[in-house]
Amino acid sequence: MSVTLDDTDRRILTLLQEDGSLTVNELAQRIGMTPPPCWRRVKRLKETGCLRRQVWLVDAAAVGLDVTLYVNVQLVAHDVAATTSFREQVRALPEVVECYLLLGNSDSLLKIIVPSIKYYETFFYTRLSQLPGVRAVTSSVVMTEIKATTSLPL
């Protein structure tokens, strides 16, 4: 469902994407309005699903998770049962921080974050490649992060 946003809504969303810990008072001050109407707008943005949740982003390297990989997975079958099983299995793997089903040469793209290549090697052989329905796995290791953002271009 698409929601109609005006300029003020977009400014609120942009500011909250940059710093989700802003209070309603701080947010209202930054966009030049009083807190009550600002609070109503934020409430509406939550209710319509534009704002889903508030979280802190953890620096992976700071907590010892130094290796990011993007992994293409090809499945043996593409029926509902096979893809449902794959989805459920992947959701249970904490190392997989993002998963997308794709159209094209690859059936799924995973973003995996782990402490080391050695850890990934074990994870690959004992868990990832052993998932039911997995035909092939191609892994790409991130060397340098050029851009990473959670902010949408509003």
CATH classification at residue 120: 3.30.70.920
Structure confidence at residue 68 as a pLDDT band (50, 70, 90): very high
pLDDT, tens digit, 9 for 90 and up, residues 29-50: 999 999 999 999 999 999 999 9
- The count of domains in the chain is 2
Decide if 146 is inside a domain: no
- Inform me whether the pLDDT recorded for 141 exceeds 90: yes
Residues 39, 69 within the same domain = no
Q: Say if residue 1's pLDDT is above 90.
A: no
114 belongs to a structural domain: yes
Provide the β-strand partners of residue 73. Answer: 108, 137
pTM equals 0.90
Q: Is the pLDDT of residue 70 over 90?
A: yes
36 and 89 both lie in a single domain: no
What's the whole-number mean pLDDT along residues 87-101? 97
Q: Is residue 56 in a domain? A: no
48-60 residue pLDDT tens: 999 999 999 999 9
The answer as to whether 151 is a domain residue is no
Q: What is the pLDDT of residue 2?
A: 85
Determine the structural domain holding residue 108 and report its residue range.
61-141
Would you say residue 117 has pLDDT above 90? yes
Task: Enumerate residues 6+ apart whose C-beta is below 8 A from 49.
Answer: 1, 3
Asked if residue 43 and residue 76 are part of one domain, the reply reads no
In sequence order, what are the residues at sequence separation of 6 or more whose Cβ sits closer than 8 angstroms to the Cβ of residue 93? 127, 128
Please state, as a whole number, how many other Cβ atoms lie within 10 Å of the Cβ of residue 120. Answer: 21
Based on the fold, state whether residues 38 and 100 are members of the same structural domain: no
Q: Say which CATH number the domain at 41 has.
A: 1.10.10.10
By the 10 Å C-beta count (0-12 exposed, 13-18 middle, 19+ buried), 145 is classed as exposed
What confidence category does residue 73 fall into, taking pLDDT thresholds of 50, 70 and 90?
very high
Report the pLDDT averaged over residues 1-20: 94
